[in-house]
């Protein structure tokens, strides 16, 4: 993990800005509602802002011009990268509704365990804002649970194809021992989570627009 140490030193040198987890409280436009299960099955649950939560928890990558190569663990090493997902609009619109739902559910399911790990390690995170980070992680867990339950109900109504789940196990049980690796690993996990929540958000929105053909305001 030598390159990791190199990276850690470099990132630390750049200042705290890149390591700080921004704690904007905005949850974006969508809020997970507790009453998902009671909704009409044709209505998609309101999008949680998991993506927003994740995004706000992480700094922007592209705000550091001229700082040299920043070698963070590549996102291809996310534990969910093995799942085949569309990579542009054309591909996404070709996928059937059942498959979209299945992908969303698989991704959501894949993050249950990692979120527990994150939640546990947030308390001891060597960061000045570790308390609010911990709160945010707990929010993420709750919203994920609610959304997951709602999607389970939806999938049961959509047929057997929507019920297929891809298992994406998370094997890491520790985010590191020393301070630097803890921070880096935490950061990496959060960026993976942000991407996956953005995917879930997009898939479900496409699904919702398709389901509400007569209501353009749903798109």
Partner 1 sequence: MTVCARMRRDLGLALLLLLSAAVESDGMSPPGKPVFLGCRSPEKETFTCWWEPGSGGGLPTTHRLYYEREKLEGTHECPDYHSAGKNSCFFDKDHTSIWVDYYLTVVASNALGNATSGHFKMDVMEIVKPNAPENVTLQVMKREDNPYLHVRWEHPHNTDTKSGWVTIKYELRVKHRNNNEWKEYTSGTQTQFNLYNINPGEMYVVQVRCRLDHGSWSEWSNSTSVKTFNYPQNDKPFWILVSALSTVPFLTAMCILVIKRKYVKKVLLPPVPGPKIRGIDVQLLKRGRSEDVSNALIINQGFPSVPAWKDEIEDYLIVSDDVLLPDPHRKKKSLTVAAGFHLNLEIQCKESLGQRDWEKAEERKNGIDTFPPQLPTQKQLCPNVTFVHAEATDQRWPIHDAAAESTVQLLAPTGYVDIQRHKSMQEEADGNEMDYTRVNDGNILILQKDKFPGCMDVQRQEENIPEDYSRVKEVDGDNKVLLQRQSFSADSSCGEKGTPYTDCTNKKPINPHVPGPSKVELIGSGYVDTIY
**Chain contacts with partner 1 (rule: CB under 8 A):** 28-29, 49, 51-52, 55, 60-62, 65-70, 74-76, 85, 87-90, 92-93, 195, 198-199, 201-202, 205-210, 216-219
| Identity of the residue, 58 or 125, whose beta carbon is nearer to partner 1 in the bound complex | 58
| Identity of the residue, 100 or 122, whose beta carbon is nearer to partner 1 in the bound complex | 100
Alpha-carbon distance 188 to 76, whole Å? 11
| Identity of the residue, 62 or 157, whose beta carbon is nearer to partner 1 in the bound complex | 62
Which positions ≥6 away from 50 have C-beta within 8 Å? Answer: 140, 143, 144, 147, 193, 197, 200, 201
Burial class (CB in 10 A: 0-12, 13-18, 19+), 196: buried
State the minimum distance, in angstroms, from the CB of residue 70 to partner 1: 7
| Identity of the residue, 44 or 127, whose beta carbon is nearer to partner 1 in the bound complex | 44
State the minimum distance, in angstroms, from the CB of residue 124 to partner 1: 28
State the minimum distance, in angstroms, from the CB of residue 174 to partner 1: 25
State the minimum distance, in angstroms, from the CB of residue 89 to partner 1: 5
| Identity of the residue, 121 or 194, whose beta carbon is nearer to partner 1 in the bound complex | 194
Q: Measured over all CA atoms, what is the biggest interatomic distance in the chain, rounded to whole angstroms? A: 57
State the minimum distance, in angstroms, from the CB of residue 207 to partner 1: 8
């Amino acid at each position: 993990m030598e390159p990791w140490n190199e990276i850690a030193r470099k990132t630390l040198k750049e200042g705290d800005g890149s390591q700080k987890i921004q704690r904007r409280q905005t949850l974006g436009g969508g809020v997970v509602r507790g009453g998902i299960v009671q909704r009409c099955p044709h209505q998609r649950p309101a999008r949680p802002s998991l993506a927003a939560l994740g995004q706000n928890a992480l700094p922007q990558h592209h705000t550091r011009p001229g700082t040299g190569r920043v070698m963070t663990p590549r996102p291809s090493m996310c534990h969910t990268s093995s799942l085949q997902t569309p990579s542009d609009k054309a591909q996404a619109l070709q996928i059937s509704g059942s498959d979209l739902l299945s992908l969303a559910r698989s991704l959501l399911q894949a993050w249950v365990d990692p979120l527990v790990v994150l939640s546990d390690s947030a308390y001891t995170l060597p960061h000045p804002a570790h308390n609010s980070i911990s709160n945010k992680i707990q929010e993420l867990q709750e919203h994920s649970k609610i959304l997951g339950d709602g999607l389970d109900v939806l999938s049961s109504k959509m047929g057997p194809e929507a019920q297929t789940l891809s298992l994406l196990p998370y094997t890491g049980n520790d985010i590191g021992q020393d301070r630097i690796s803890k921070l880096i690993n935490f950061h990496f996990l959060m960026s993976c989570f942000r991407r996956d929540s953005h995917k879930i958000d997009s898939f479900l929105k496409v699904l919702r627009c398709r389901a509400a053909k007569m209501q353009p305001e749903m798109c």
